[in-house]
């Protein structure tokens, strides 16, 4: 068979085709907030891309969709360079993937990486908030991880995001990361309103949250009932130094008046991680927001630092993804109601 620098032409062509499909989908999903393929289909393309790159490593160039986060931002908002890169997460789809992640961490660290913090993977969009001397000065979307959209005015309309942090030990500079979401109820209501107004409904709660946040007119955002939950921090300068664990950081953020979930749990073993994953698989629809899995993180910040990140995701965290649900019955109801 024909080859170019050791790579069969068929593999080269398939790689280029998939990369183009993924780039197009990324743009529709992240920039337009209106995907035209299902997440399941998109994930199959990405899996095939990764397999091709494993078989032919020269295909894994820095501009491959497998190496990147999100998509370049649109021109509708002012671009903001993040203080520190925002990342995606690697995925686990079964216990073996989870065990492989844990084993790699143990091998690289040359020690037991426990304890682990387990929390829910909220299906919203990532946000980075910058507080200077306790005052909210900027909010930006993840964008491509380095540069995001400035959505400060819109974020100021979100009720559970404080404009000022509480307490007398707030850092001089603090970047808080988290997820902005619309409740499932809010999503269904919004789609009903859009359909009644003859407008296209959003495909899922995540797109509806992204579309609601990235509005030119913050007054529209203000009507959308968005909420936030914190799931990390970036730079933390001055004031009392940050706690040494992820769970400790959450407690501190809570004391600052920031929204933190009550549903995280610190556990000591893979078995217990498995129990957490199973529990929320059963109770997937009991939360007010949509979840698409569980995120597991090393609790100790020092170990997180030692493991670092790949080009797109931290090695110290993993997303255990639940299988996508066939149909969103609530969405179907709306369509049927049209
Ligand atoms: P992701 O959604 O799989 O996970 C990373 C994100 O999870 C983080 O950026 C963070 O914002 C969020 N998150 C939620 N809860 C968290 C928690 N507790 N701790 C840490 N982070 C948490 O990855 P992604 O890069 O944002 O998106 C990739 C996925 O998006 C794909 O797997 C696919 O399902 C979907 N997608 C679909 C299309 C399409 O056309 N249908 C296109 C592009 C992407």
The predicted-structure confidence for 322-338, as pLDDT tens digits, reads as follows 987 755 444 444 443 33
pLDDT-based confidence at residue 76 (cuts at 50, 70, 90): confident
Task: Provide the 10 A C-beta neighbour count for residue 185.
Answer: 13
Q: C-alpha angle with apex 36: 15 to 20, nearest 5 degrees?
A: 20
pLDDT at residue 213 is higher than 80: yes
Q: How far from 277 is each of 43, 248, 269, CA to CA, in Å?
A: 21, 22, 13
156 neighbors 163 (Cβ within 8 angstroms): yes
For the chain, give the percent of residues with pLDDT over 70. 96
The DSSP line for 7-57 is: EEHHHHHHHHHHHHHHHHHHIIIIISS--SS-HHHHHHHHHHHHHHHHHSG
- Beta strands at 91-92 and 317-321: parallel, antiparallel or unpaired: parallel
Q: Check: pTM over 0.80? Answer yes or no.
A: yes
> Which pair of tokens denotes residue 29?
């999903």
pLDDT at 241: 94
The answer to whether the CB of 319 is under 6 A from ligand 1 is: yes
Contact 177, 86 (CB under 8 A): yes
Ligand 1: which atom is nearest the Cα of residue 203?
41
pLDDT for 74 equals: 77
- 291 CB near ligand 1 (under 6 Å): no
pLDDT score of 336: 39
| Ligand 1 lined by 88 (C-beta under 6 Å) | yes
The alpha carbon of 38 and the centre of ligand 1 are apart by a number of angstroms equal to 13
Nearest CA-CA partner of 305 in 229, 236, 253, 230: 236
Residue 290 has pLDDT above 80, yes or no: yes
CA distance 319 to 196: 36
295 CA → ligand 1 middle, Å? 11
The finding on whether 295 has its CB within 6 A of some atom of ligand 1 is: yes
How many angstroms separate the alpha carbon of residue 240 from the centre of ligand 1?
A: 32
pLDDT bracket for residue 160 (50, 70, 90): very high
Rounded to an integer, what distance in angstroms lies between the CA atom of residue 102 and that of residue 296? 10
133 flagged as catalytic: no
Residue nearest atom 13 in ligand 1 by C-alpha distance: 121
pLDDT tens per residue, range 228-255 = 999 999 999 999 999 999 999 999 999 9
**Which atom number of ligand 1 is nearest to the Cα of residue 71?**
43
Answer yes or no: are the C-beta atoms of 240 and 232 closer than 8 Å: no
pLDDT at 326: 57
| 162-209 pLDDT tens trace | 999 999 999 999 999 999 999 999 999 999 999 999 999 999 999 999
What pLDDT, on a 0 to 100 scale, did the predictor assign at position 249? Answer: 98
pLDDT of residue 107 exceeding 50: yes
Q: Report pLDDT for 333.
A: 47
pLDDT at 75: 76
H helix or E strand, kind and range, residue 267: strand 265-267
CA-nearest of 190, 222, 231 to 208 is 190
Per-residue pLDDT, 218: 93
pLDDT in tens, 255-289: 999 999 999 999 999 999 999 999 999 999 999 99
The active-site residue, picked from 68, 121, 227, 297, is 121
In the predicted structure, residue 140 carries a pLDDT above the cut 80 = yes
Q: What is the ipTM, given to two decimal places?
A: 0.97
């Amino acid at each position: 068979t024909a080859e170019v620098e050791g790579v069969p032409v068929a593999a080269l062509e398939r790689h280029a085709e998939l990369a183009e499909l993924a780039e197009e989908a990324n743009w529709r999903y992240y920039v337009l907030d209106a995907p035209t393929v299902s997440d399941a289909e998109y994930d199959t393309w990405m899996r095939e891309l990764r397999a091709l790159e494993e078989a032919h490593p020269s295909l894994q160039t820095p501009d491959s969709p497998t190496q990147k986060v999100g998509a370049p931002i649109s021109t509708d908002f002012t671009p903001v360079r993040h203080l520190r890169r925002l990342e995606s997460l690697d995925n686990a789809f079964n216990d073996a993937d989870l065990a492989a992640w844990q084993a790699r961490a143990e091998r690289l660290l040359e020690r037991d990486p426990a304890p682990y913090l387990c929390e829910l993977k909220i299906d919203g969009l990532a946000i980075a908030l910058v507080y200077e001397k306790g005052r909210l000065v900027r909010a930006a979307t993840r964008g491509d991880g380095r540069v995001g959209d400035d959505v400060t005015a819109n974020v100021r309309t979100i009720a559970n995001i404080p404009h000022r942090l509480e307490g007398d030990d707030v850092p001089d500079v603090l970047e808080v990361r988290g997820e902005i979401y619309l409740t499932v109820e809010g999503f269904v209501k919004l789609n009903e309103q859009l359909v009644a107004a003859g407008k296209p409904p959003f495909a899922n709660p995540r797109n509806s949250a992204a579309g609601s946040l990235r509005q030119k007119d913050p007054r529209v955002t203000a009507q959308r009932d968005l909420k936030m939950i914190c799931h990390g921090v970036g730079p933390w300068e001055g004031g009392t130094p940050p706690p040494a664990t992820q769970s400790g950081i959450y407690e501190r953020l809570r004391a600052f008046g920031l929204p933190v979930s009550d549903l995280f749990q610190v556990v000591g073993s893979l078995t217990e991680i498995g129990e957490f994953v199973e529990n929320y698989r059963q109770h997937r629809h009991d939360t007010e927001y949509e979840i698409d899995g569980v995120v597991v993180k090393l609790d100790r910040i020092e170990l997180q630092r030692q493991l670092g990140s790949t080009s797109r995701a931290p090695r110290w965290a993993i997303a255990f993804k639940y299988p996508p649900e066939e149909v969103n019955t609530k969405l179907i109801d709306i369509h049927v109601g049209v």
